[in-house]
Amino acid sequence: MTKEDFLLFQEFLHEKAGMFFAENKQYLVENRLVKRMGELGIKSYRDYFYHVKYDTSLKEFNTLMDLVTTNETSFFRNEPQLISFADEVLPKLIAEKRENRATRSLKVWSAGCSTGEEPYTLAMLISEKVASLAGWNTEIIASDISEEVLGKARKGEYSGLTLRNVSPDILRRYYDQDGDNYRVKASVKSMVRFCHMNLNDPRQLSTQSGFDIIFCRNVMIYFSDEVKKELVRGFYNALRPGGYFYIGHAETLHGISKAFKLAYFKNALVYHKEVADASKAKPTLVSSAAGRSTVGAGTAGAAGGTGRALDLLSKIKQAQAKK
Ligand SMILES: C[S@@+](CC[C@H](N)C(=O)[O-])C[C@H]1O[C@@H](n2cnc3c(N)ncnc32)[C@H](O)[C@@H]1O
């Protein structure tokens, strides 16, 4: 791959998918494309570039997305954020809706859901609250740009490391075991709707609205600041006033958006879209004590370290529980 070839891909991937590959990532782009070029019998990177660019069916673009995206994920990833979701944010939203006699519905978005572990984890956590949610309409939308990962997500079959943080009790209640494979139970699957969506497409983004909670964890790390700003504006608009926004615990909105307020929960800092009348649903500042994870390391750098320490702590606790 020549430098010029790389720059063509760099600009194309940024413009179309928001991903920014710095020049030291040239080898990565090369490695990921070479097998596909072999399959197509295409000999040069430049020819492959034009093959993708002028394929109006977008088939090859979708294949390229399968190749260049990083899809690492796992069930119950970053426990402190999930505890804050299940034990703090969710009960608070439910109580507020009950108090305001609002519609008994809960709408959650897992944006950049990869192979489905994140939305299924959220579905399991919501299911744990099912008694208090009787008669409620819950909807989890899970989107990704890669059709390949969405295929795996819809299948809902997992094995190995991705299950490492799932407790035996949750495994037993929410999965059907088949040898070394664990299939997510139909009751959990039915709570999640998977869809293909490019987060760098403002038109697609603008069709989303009314979410109570949005998760977009470990997705924007691959985007340029310019793309992040546009995307975070889109998420802000897609959230209903009073809603919450989770990003990866090592990510930050510092320098990206000032629209959100930070809500300090015991287990995590979560971005919050305030209601216009601040007296109505001001986020409760539950605790500013140590022992919280952070959703924005830049906004609370020290807390980022605490988040990692908590991770470690929960792993130690799990290991102890298994003994
Ligand atoms: C590292 S995974 C994160 C999965 C999950 N959110 C988690 O934290 O475990 C990042 C996902 O973002 C998706 N992604 C990257 N760029 C995207 C885009 N422009 N639109 C939608 N999804 C995108 C990738 O396909 C990948 O599955």
Q: Which atom of ligand 1 is nearest to the CA of 216?
A: 6
The one-letter amino acid code at 114 reads S
157 Cβ contact list (under 8 Å, min separation 6): 178, 181, 182, 183, 184
How many CB atoms are located within 10 Å of the residue 198 CB?
18
Render 99-130 in DSSP notation, one character per residue: HTT--SEEEEEEES-TTTHHHHHHHHHHHHTG
Q: Which atom of ligand 1 is nearest to the CA of 215?
A: 6
Which sign does the torsion angle of CA 246, 71, 19, 194 carry?
A: negative
- Give the Cα-Cα-Cα angle 80, 81, 87 (nearest 5 degrees): 85
Closest ligand 1 atom, residue 77 Cα: 9
Q: What DSSP state is assigned to residue 239?
A: E
Please give the Cα distance from 188 to 16 (Å, whole number): 33
Q: Over the stretch 100-121, which tens digit does the pLDDT of each residue have? A: 887 889 999 999 999 999 999 9
**231 Cβ inside 6 Å of ligand 1:** no
Pocket lining: 72 vs ligand 1, CB cutoff 6 Å: yes
Q: What is the pTM of this model?
A: 0.86
The count of residues in the chain is 323
Cβ of 18 less than 6 Å from ligand 1: yes
Tens of pLDDT, residues 52-63: 999 999 999 999
Residue 73 CB less than 6 A away from ligand 1: yes
The verdict on the CB of residue 118 being under 6 Å from ligand 1 is: yes
Average pLDDT, the chain: 87
Q: Is 251 close to ligand 1, i.e. is its CB under 6 Å away?
A: no
Strands (E), the chain: 105-111, 137-144, 157-158, 175-178, 181-184, 192-196, 211-216, 239-247, 261-264, 269-272
Counting from 1 in the atom list of ligand 1, the atom nearest the Cα of 199 is 20
Distance from the alpha carbon of residue 269 to the mean position of ligand 1, in angstroms: 21
Q: How far away, in angstroms, is 127 Cα from ligand 1 center? A: 24
Question: 144 CB less than 6 Å from ligand 1?
Answer: yes
Residue pLDDT tens, the chain, 323 long = 999 999 999 999 999 999 999 999 999 999 999 999 999 999 999 999 999 999 999 999 999 999 999 999 999 999 999 999 999 999 999 999 888 887 889 999 999 999 999 999 999 999 988 777 788 899 999 999 999 999 999 999 999 999 999 999 999 999 999 999 999 999 999 999 999 999 999 999 999 999 999 999 999 999 999 999 999 999 999 999 999 999 999 999 999 999 999 999 998 999 999 988 655 544 444 433 333 333 332 222 223 333 333 343 344 345 445 44
User: Tell me, what's the pLDDT at 203?
Assistant: 94
Architecture of domain 3-68: Orthogonal Bundle (1.10)
Ligand 1: residue of 14, 32, 62, 69 to mutate (most ligand atoms within 8 A of CB) is 69
CB distance 77 to ligand 1 below 6 Å: yes
- Ligand 1 atom nearest to CA at 19: 16
Share of the chain above pLDDT 70, in %: 85
State whether the beta carbon of 237 lies less than 6 angstroms from ligand 1. no
Q: How far apart are CA 255 and CA 228, in angstroms?
A: 10
Query: Cα(21) to centroid of ligand 1, in Å?
Result: 15
Distance 297 CA to ligand 1 centre (A): 19
Tell me the best of 219, 222, 235, 293 to mutate to test the pocket of ligand 1, counting ligand atoms within 8 Å of each CB and taking the most: 219
The structural domains of the chain, with segments of one domain joined by +, span 3-68, 79-322
Residue nearest to atom 17 of ligand 1 (CA): 145
Q: Whose CA is nearest to atom 11 of ligand 1?
A: 112
CATH superfamily to which 79-322 belongs: Vaccinia Virus protein VP39 (3.40.50.150)
Ligand 1 centroid from CA 218, angstroms = 7
Ligand 1 pocket residue status of 15, Cβ below 6 Å: no
